[in-house]
Amino acid sequence: MAESLLEVKDLVKHYPLTQGIVFRRQVGAVKAVDGVSFDLRAGETLGIVGESGCGKSTVAKMLVNLERPTAGSILYKGEDLTKLSGRALKAVRRNIQMVFQDPYTSLNPRMTVGDIIGEPYEIHPEVAPKGSRRQKVQDLLDVVGLNPEYINRYPHQFSGGQRQRIGIARGLALQPEIIVADEPVSALDVSVQAQVINLLDRLQKDFSLSYVFIAHDLSIVRHISDRVGVMYLGRIVEIGTDSQIYNHPTHPYTQALLSAVPVPDPEARAHRERIILSGDVPSPANPPSGCPFRTRCWKAEPRCAAEVPLLAVPEAFPSGPAAHPSACHFAAEKQVVPQVPPEGPQG
């Protein structure tokens, strides 16, 4: 097994909830991320999936140091990023870059494409001395499938898919090892999603990149992920290889998410079990006691309100495809295996 590039341990981000204008006082906290652990191995893609508001972007921002964790550690090749500062942090930061969700708002409309893609060189001039930057940026445009002559154009002159290619080129500018892609295709038309995913796939091979690929839909990450972590209310509730998660899910939430993935084959559609979750995701400012999923879970029992289930391999499954970490007291019970199409978005 390849070495771990990143090791995330018990990562927590609580945003204080305050009240009062003159005398501000803290009345609680939004538990956006509440104890997340995973590792990222060299050359792999780890998909992170979960509904809107479950903390995916907050994890992404902490990985690239846009947010400081409340607690926990992020080890990059054994070095804790949360304890670094100044030059040491800057040097490490270069290796972990982000691609943002919305290519319509994440690119500065007043900057040319050349300035947007080349901006990281202002902070890291050692990667590309001034005289070589224009050529570097043109090479990057070419690498992401855009005409290098577009270098002086502005973001509004491009389509959504092309803008996301610009965002990806910018992410590549500093030759990082890790790209954290936060729902990179969610804002794009379905017809364009597959093209951008194929581009990311090719870039990964060409530049030996490791990806943390975030999505709210299990069908999108399937195509690109080696392993998948499923998040619910600030925690990872199940994590495993592609085949473990899609064919042998043991957490009821993963099973429900899978049952909602569209199935193109009418025959398979008729035979699968559809799980409809009741209610909404609870507020991260006031999460349920015990298991965070229990208020929407059809397997929930009194034990689930009293005891937080740990993310661990179920004792009943020491080996086999179900032997992967799952945070459910009843992970070893009746398997629901919804039918899933073998591929991600069609293109």
Ligand X SMILES: Nc1ncnc2c1ncn2[C@@H]1O[C@H](COP(=O)(O)OP(=O)(O)O)[C@@H](O)[C@H]1O
Exactly one of 57, 162, 210, 250 binds Mg ion (CB under 5 A); which one? 57
Distance CA 155, CA 159 (A): 8
Q: Which residue, chain included where needed, has tokens 């304890």? A: 83
Distant-in-sequence contacts of 253-257, Cβ < 8 A, 24+ apart: 253/293, 253/296, 253/297, 254/218, 254/230, 254/326, 255/336, 255/338, 257/49, 257/218, 257/230
Quick check: 249 binds ligand X (CB under 6 A)? no
- Our CB check for ligand X shows the closer of 70 and 247 to be 70
| Local structure of residue 153 (DSSP, 8 states) | -
Q: What's the chain's length in residues?
A: 347
- Our CB check for ligand X shows the closer of 55 and 252 to be 55
Binding mask 7-46 for Mg ion (x = CB under 5 A): ----------------------------------------
Quick check: 237 binds ligand X (CB under 6 A)? no
Taking the complex as a whole, the smallest distance from the CB of residue 213 to Mg ion amounts, in Å, to: 13
Give the number of residues in contact with Mg ion, rule: CB under 5 A.
2
Q: How far is CA 165 from the centre of its chain?
A: 18
- Our CB check for ligand X shows the closer of 43 and 53 to be 53
| Local structure of residue 329 (DSSP, 8 states) | T
Exactly one of 18, 26, 52, 159 binds ligand X (CB under 6 A); which one? 52
Helices (H), 124-227: 133-143, 160-172, 190-207, 218-222
Taking the complex as a whole, the smallest distance from the CB of residue 56 to ligand X amounts, in Å, to: 3
Taking the complex as a whole, the smallest distance from the CB of residue 295 to Mg ion amounts, in Å, to: 22
- Our CB check for ligand X shows the closer of 48 and 291 to be 48
Distance CA 88, CA 226 (A): 31
Quick check: 30 binds ligand X (CB under 6 A)? yes
Using the CB atoms, write b or e for 256-287: b if 16+ within 10 Å: bbbbebebeeeeeeeebeebebeeebbebeeb
Taking the complex as a whole, the smallest distance from the CB of residue 53 to ligand X amounts, in Å, to: 4
Taking the complex as a whole, the smallest distance from the CB of residue 56 to Mg ion amounts, in Å, to: 5
Taking the complex as a whole, the smallest distance from the CB of residue 140 to ligand X amounts, in Å, to: 27
Tokens of 278: 């009741």
Parallel/antiparallel/unpaired status of strands 96-99 and 25-41: unpaired
Exactly one of 34, 38, 55, 195 binds ligand X (CB under 6 A); which one? 55
Tokens of 216: 């709210």
Ranges of beta strands (E only) in 225-335 are 227-232, 235-241
Taking the complex as a whole, the smallest distance from the CB of residue 119 to ligand X amounts, in Å, to: 24
| Residue 178 interface partner, choices ligand X, Mg ion, none, CB cut-off 5-8 Å depending on type | none
Coil vs helix vs strand at 126? coil
In this chain, which stretch among 50-58, 69-77, 131-139, 258-266 interacts with ligand X, using CB under 6 A? 50-58
Q: Which of residues 252-311 bind Mg ion (CB under 5 A)?
A: none
Exactly one of 35, 43, 53, 282 binds ligand X (CB under 6 A); which one? 53
Name the β-bridge partners of 29: 16
In this chain, which stretch among 23-31, 41-49, 56-64, 269-277 interacts with Mg ion, using CB under 5 A? 56-64
In this chain, which stretch among 50-58, 123-131, 140-148, 249-257 interacts with Mg ion, using CB under 5 A? 50-58
Exactly one of 7, 9, 12, 15 binds ligand X (CB under 6 A); which one? 15
The answer to whether the CB of 99 falls within 8 A of the CB of 187 is no
The binding site for ligand X (CB under 6 A) comprises 15, 30, 32, 50, 52-58, 284
The binding site for Mg ion (CB under 5 A) comprises 56-57
